[in-house]
Structure 1
Amino acid sequence: MTQRSYFLDHALLPGGWRRDVRLTTDAGRIASLQADASAEGATRLSGFALPGMPNLHSHAFQRGMAGLAERRGPANDSFWTWREVMYRFNGNLTPDDLEAIAAYAYLEMLEGGFTSVAEFHYLHHAIDGTPFADLGEMSGRILAAAKTVGIGVTLLPVFYNYSGFGGLAPVDGQRRFINAPDRYLQLVARAGELAKGQEGAIVGMAPHSLRAVTPETLTEIVRGGPGGPVHIHIAEQMKEVNDCIAWSGKRPVRWLLDNQRVDQRWCLVHATHLTDDEVADMAASGAVAGLCPLTEANLGDGIFRGTDYIAAHGIYGIGSDSNVEIDAAGELKMLEYSQRLGLRGRNLMTSKEGESTGRRLVDDALEGGAQAMGQNLGVLDVGARADFIVLDGDHPDVVAADGDRALDAWIFCGGRAMVKHVVAGGEAVVAEGRHAKRDAILDRYRKTLARVLSA
């Protein structure tokens, strides 16, 4: 990986927007930054440059089932009926299939403004549930897909041991996910070996949810793991909340906060249904709220208590989750719009009069996303991973705009169509809105889906 220099007309640096910024990269990191600089010898990327958005929650294989669950089911059609469609879809995926689908999902992330992804990966075993000879076979395919497209990755092998609170036996649709604690820790170790030497790749761990573990197995894997990020689904659905109360007498977030040392390492994904005390204590813990507004809307989860959470100084980031739609700006817009719909107000995810809502959403999601990824990224600063996007400065919605208004236009007007250039790990991977490897990756994805969906 060679040293590269880029010249940026407008760039969002830690101290704010600056003009004529020369950014030099080395080994995938930002080596130097200079404002009011000369463009001589640098690649000029015109427009508004900002740090690439971390995607803190993805199930890459679910990109292949986008649109398959949009037919009316039973009268109580819900997340739980959607889950049955997901089980059927993943039941026939081979390692080659997973890699092809993940590569296309990651390509779309880069084109949509995400430059790194936390992959919440639970499709571990062969079709019949038997572990592969290499326990990390499927983890390796996720890493290979990320490397192919050039996206940074925090790989989170998922611990899934049971089907419900109190240690209920797994169901057949979960056969490819299941590991006992000892085998799971072996899987995490193997994933770590596979990630070594891949720029922008680290490994954390992810207990799937409180319903998929027991108190004993959760403690065993958290204590036995290698350190780094810990992500968990929690309080996404009211059925989960009610089942947790029936099992333990406590709501999921309350139980977790009372029984684990939840701190800055943790990302609590969704956390949709919270009490006042849970909002305050979760914010005080330093954990990240992992919000996936497009998927949460698609599944009918509910509305996160965003205004209360930011008032309590809580940290959050965004993720694409089911990948039914992959658009960094779209996630931020849905987050703000959900608050507007629920509270019947405007510009609610910021509390300062006169502040750009787009800027506040971007700043907050960059900070929380970077923390959840467990990597030095989400900021244009020396030493950070060289990830940034450039918004089209010629787009009609940014006529005579300053930087913050460009962010407002990106989130609330132009969306992913405004993402003109993307640099990830120092490499220019998207130019004029198109990934350099789009044709080959899309062709493989189409052939994979044609076979999988006709099986």
Structure 2
Amino acid sequence: LYVEMLEAGFSRVGEFHYLHHDRDGKSYANLAEMAERIAAAAGETGIGLTLLPVFYAHSSFGGAAPNQGQRRFINDVDRFSRLVEKCRESVRALNQAVVGVAPHSLRAATPEELIEVTALAPDGPIHIHIAEQVKEVEDCLAWSGARPVEFLLGHAKVDKRWCLIHATHMTDAETVAMARSGAIAGLCPITEANLGDGTFAAPLFREHGGRYGVGSDSNVLIGLPDELRQLEYSQRLAHRARNVLAVAGGSTGRALFDAALDGGSVALGAGISQIAAGASADLVSLDPQNPSLAGKSGDAILDAWIFANGGKVDCVWVHGLKQVSGGRHVKREAIAERFRSVMTALSA
């Protein structure tokens, strides 16, 4: 996965990590066994890592008991607190790694647990799945009398450290309030389309200063231009308009790319998202020999990459080190062979 992300042009992953325990639901001897495997994968591939251990304790709103299928996710606050500390130890050797927390959702954490869990990351990013599907909204209303985003904004100190994943089903009032809170919208356009979840209220959110980043939830397809293209096209279909997220008179590709880079960097605690002194040297170049880019310059290159599959990623540098060359990760063959062996053994 991390090799594919780098080859697609992603230089950092926000790992929403909630597979914590063994198959029977019991903790591994090393509580951070799975987190250490994530850190090892990030270290070997060279991708930047924001590790977001997920707190998951309940199957539905109001503290409902978890079901058997969730047994590998479940922690109480005490054990989760120890896990967060272990996660910090796991990434200590990585360059510019970040650890935050991720209360999975308002379904999986009670309001009291939400307060305790978010306190474990006083300076780090906080990610939460919210308002992804209509049933979630209906269940939250039945439980609390409020919609998910409405409830969260009224019961937590939401600011720019928060990333609200999906946030698909909001009223206009919720959308404006979320934008004004400074929280980042963590959009997964391909996943949301694949699951038929709905379309984010992007124009209203942006109008009120909201920021967003893009990524994948289901990993059904790993593609940076694909996510940005799906985001814009979903808005065009919803609003029956063109160039919905563009700045008037400007390039739609540039607007999408810059907005996602800005919001994504904030959501992952990654620092400055530009080529500047003191910023991380995370760079992507496209293949200049691709015929689709012939005669193009400036923002027209971004437009071609995002909307016409024009050009392919050629090289990727993370923290100044080249990890992708000629469109292929420098360790692709060795990692792919190990992956094939493991997957073959697991499916036997």
Under a length normalisation based on structure 2, what TM-score does the superposition of the two structures give? Answer: 0.98
Runs of 5+ unmatched residues, structure 1: 1-104
Residues in 2 aligned to 1:155 and 1:286: alpha-carbon distance in whole angstroms: 21
Contact 2:21–2:28 (8 Å) recurs in 1: yes
Match of 2:324 in 1: 430
1:216 aligns with 2:124: no
2:273 pairs with 1:409: no
Cα offsets for 1:114-167 (capped at 9, x unmatched): 000110000001111111111111001001001110000100000001000011
Match of 1:446 in 2: 340
**C-alpha contact (below 8 Å) 2:101/2:120 kept by paired residues:** no
- Residues 85-124 of structure 1 mapped to structure 2, 5 A cutoff: 105-124=1-20
Residues 347-426 of structure 1: pairs in structure 2 closer than 5 A: 347-350=243-246, 352-414=247-309, 418-426=312-320
Amino acid at match of 2:167: A
- Shifted more, 172-181 versus 336-345: the winner is 336-345
Select 1:136's aligned residue among 20, 32, 45: 32
CA distance in 1, matches of 2:24, 2:158: 35
Matched AA of 1:333? R
In 2, distance between residues paired with 1:377 and 1:369? Answer: 11
The alignment status of 1:185 with 2:81, answered yes or no, reads: yes
Q: Report the residue type matching 2:150 in the other structure.
A: R
Structure showing greater Rg? 1
Aligned to 1:83: none
Residue of structure 2 in register with 1:264 after alignment: 160
Which one-letter code corresponds to 2:39 in the other structure?
Answer: L
1:337 and 2:196 correspond? no
Residue of structure 2 equivalent to 1:21: none
Correspondences of 1:4-153 after superposition (within 5 Å): 105-153=1-49
Partner of 1:205: 101
Letter in 1 for 2:330: A
Deviations 1:307-353 (CA, angstroms, capped at 9, x unpaired): 11111221000012211100111000000011111111111012x32
Query: Partners of 2:107 and 2:346 in 1: how far apart?
Result: 30
Amino acid in structure 2 at the alignment position of 1:178? I
Which structure would you say has the larger RCO, counting Cα contacts within 8 Å and 6 or more residues apart? 1
Contact 1:377 1:387 in 2 (8 A): no
Give the Cα–Cα distance (whole angstroms) in 1 for the partners of residues 179 and 66 of structure 2.
33
- The letter of the residue matching 1:257 is L
Moved more, 264-273 or 214-223: 214-223
Q: Structure 2 CA distance, aligned partners of 1:448 and 1:347?
A: 44
Deviation string 1:98-129 (CA, Å, 9 cap, x unpaired) is xxxxxxx0100000010001100000011111
Kindly, what percent of the aligned residue pairs are identical? 54
Give, in whole Å, the separation in 1 of the partners of 2:260 and 2:121. 27
Q: Separation in 2 of the partners of 1:409 and 1:179?
A: 46
Counting matched residue pairs gives 348
Task: Return the TM-score normalized by structure 1.
Answer: 0.75
Cα distance in 2 between the residues matched to 1:338 and 1:409: 18
Give structure 1 regions of 4+ aligned residues with deviation exceeding 4 angstroms. none
Question: Of Structure 1 and Structure 2, which has the larger fraction of its residues in strand?
Answer: 1
Aligned-residue offset at 1:200: 2.7
